[in-house]
Structure 1
Amino acid sequence: MAAAWPRALLVLLASQVASSAGFPEEDEAPGEWVLLHVVQGQIGAGNYSYLRLNHEGKIVLRMQSVKGDADLYVSDSTLHPSFDDYALQSVTCGPDAVAIPAHFRRPVGIGIYGHPSHQESEFEMKVYLDRSVEPAAFADVAAPDGRDPGHRHAPAAEDAPPEEESVLWTVLISLLKLVLEVLF
């Protein structure tokens, strides 16, 4: 039973990495992405640094913690998002990435949090404009099977709301960090 725990933790970690792989590799950006800004900074343990995004359109934020562990929180309802008040987040131990939808109200607040596990964190964040065609642009075209394209299926009972999913992932990642610290 005890030997199964490390294997289960590695599977959980691998699935977390695979689920965050919706973004291309850090060194490459799709041709539809236009680099707008590169922001570099330092943040102390348990502190926030705030940025304001005014650009319209779908924006992709990619942040790499050069030293320590910086986490990313985004909101279109407050200019000071935190782990208690955010719309989007990326709180990995490695590269963080968030896609800000075009429909988010501007300005968008961006909070960069220095994780307390490190005295100081250094980060580099690249801000991209994603000019790829959105699927919603073709919403008025009929679906091949004759269904109304605007019709959406009801969510399944097992689908968790995004708030519950993010809390679950935060708890799971925290547990994983704790177990990995104990093991290594």
Structure 2
Amino acid sequence: MALLWRTFPIVLLCQVTLGKVTASSGPSGGVLLPEDWVLLHVVQGQIGGGNYSYLRLNHDGRIVLRMESARGDADLYVSDSTLHPSFDEYELQSATCGQDSVAVPAWFRRPVGIAVYGHPSHLETEFEMRVYLDRAVTEDPFTELTYPTEEGAGDKKPGKKLEEEEEEEESVVWTILIGLLKLVLEILF
């Protein structure tokens, strides 16, 4: 009897929590969403197993993609460097058996390529993707800095380019030091 009274509050708490999560219905598909999210699009589609369906995102700002597989298993791949991302070439991905979700940063170059992949474990997959604008995100003024690429165009991925430049500088320094060492060894021997 004492065990029953100990577990009762836990069960009641779980039921109340689940009731709050599933009580919401409407445009969010039964899931509570932040108030700052604005629904931009709802995309529904079908895709064969092992195939891709490509979409293009042009909206600015932080965009959240939430995809639910109604039947089968759809995976999500996102890239700002190609309009045809795949499971070999992507920047962001979500490949779960349930709901897939990806947050596209505001600094990604537009247009952003989106690929929906139908997992080959199913002959056909039906999916629904909801596209939200996250208005709560305030932009960091330092993310607007551009870094030159080999083509001379601006690239808004600061971390990647800085690391490559540092490695290149280290490489030049090591090349010079090794050259000097060889010269000294030639003179001595």
Same fold, TM exceeding 0.5? yes
Which residue is equivalent to 2:52? Answer: 48
Which residue is equivalent to 1:59? Answer: 63
Which residue is equivalent to 1:87? Answer: 91
Q: Any unmatched runs of 5+ in structure 1? A: 1-23, 140-184
Which residue is equivalent to 2:110? Answer: 106
Deviations 1:12-65 (A, max 9, x none): xxxxxxxxxxxx996221100000000000000000000000000000000000
Q: Write the distance in 2 (CA, Å) between the matches of 1:66 and 1:35.
A: 20
Instruction: Indicate the SS of the match to 1:62.
Output: strand
If the length of structure 2 is used for normalisation, what is the TM-score?
A: 0.58
More helix, by proportion: 2
Shift of 1:80: 0.3
Deviations 1:116-144 (A, max 9, x none): 000000000000000013373699xxxxx
Which residue is equivalent to 1:121? Answer: 125
If the length of structure 1 is used for normalisation, what is the TM-score?
A: 0.60
Matching of residue 37 in structure 1 with residue 30 in structure 2:
no
Amino acid at match of 1:43: I
The alignment of Structure 1 onto Structure 2 pairs a total of residues equal to 116
Aligned in 2, Cα 1:44/1:89: closer, same or farther, shift over 3 Å? same
Aligned in 2, Cα 1:70/1:56: closer, same or farther, shift over 3 Å? same
Amino acid at match of 1:57: G
Instruction: Indicate the SS of the match to 2:140.
Output: helix
The question of whether the paired residues in 1 share the 8 Å contact of 2:62 and 2:137 is answered with no
Aligned in 2, Cα 1:100/1:123: closer, same or farther, shift over 3 Å? same
Deviations 1:67-112 (A, max 9, x none): 0000000000000000000000000000000000000000000000
Instruction: Indicate the SS of the match to 1:118.
Output: coil
Q: Write the distance in 2 (CA, Å) between the matches of 1:119 and 1:80.
A: 22
Query: Larger C-alpha radius of gyration, 1 or 2?
Result: 2
Q: Write the distance in 1 (CA, Å) between the matches of 2:73 and 2:36.
A: 29
Amino acid at match of 1:28: L
Identity %: 72
